[in-house]
Amino acid sequence: MCQRHGCRKTEHWHNLCRKHAGYFRMWEEGRGPGQQVGQPPGWLRRAWNFCRAVVRHVRNWAQYASRRVYRERLAICRACPSLDPERMVCREKTCGCYVERKARWASEECPLGKWRAAGSLDRGPSQQQPGDEPGESTSQLRTLHPQPTTND
């Protein structure tokens, strides 16, 4: 039993894991020979994970990732074997999120380390992130919750 990758490996698979980076990477991503794609965590675990994400999002001034960062995150998630593509839900036990929501929040990161938080948790709401388009700040990108505009 391979404790690192959570599956039974034959001697041949152990050799492939040790000597071939491609096979090692597949096992690290949870899609190697002998590994089964898991189910998302149960509703209680997902609720707990979501509550923790909401706290991080609020602590980060409820900032959203730039359009570019959001698109990059979704592309990474779509290529990940942990994604349930029909529901767009991450099947990792430490996640279970709807990736289209989680990828929008600047404070969030992939539980597998495939993408990181888009900014510091101590930043104020008006600061722009590196890589944002000119004039685009994460606090202005509120496609899910647009802010009303006033004409003074």
pLDDT single digits (tens) 91-124: 888 888 899 999 999 999 999 899 999 864 444 4
The answer to whether 39 and 89 are in contact (CB under 8 A) is: no
pLDDT, mean over the chain: 79
pLDDT band (50, 70, 90) for residue 135:
very low
Q: pTM of the prediction?
A: 0.57
Beta bridge partners of 84: 89
pLDDT over threshold 50, residue 148? no
Convert the pLDDT of each residue in 23-56 to its tens digit. Answer: 888 887 777 787 766 667 788 888 999 999 999 9
pLDDT band (50, 70, 90) for residue 84:
confident
pLDDT for res 137: 42
For residues 113 and 61, what is the distance between their CA atoms, to the nearest angstrom?
23
Question: At a CB cut-off of 8 Å and minimum separation 6, what does 36 contact?
Answer: 7
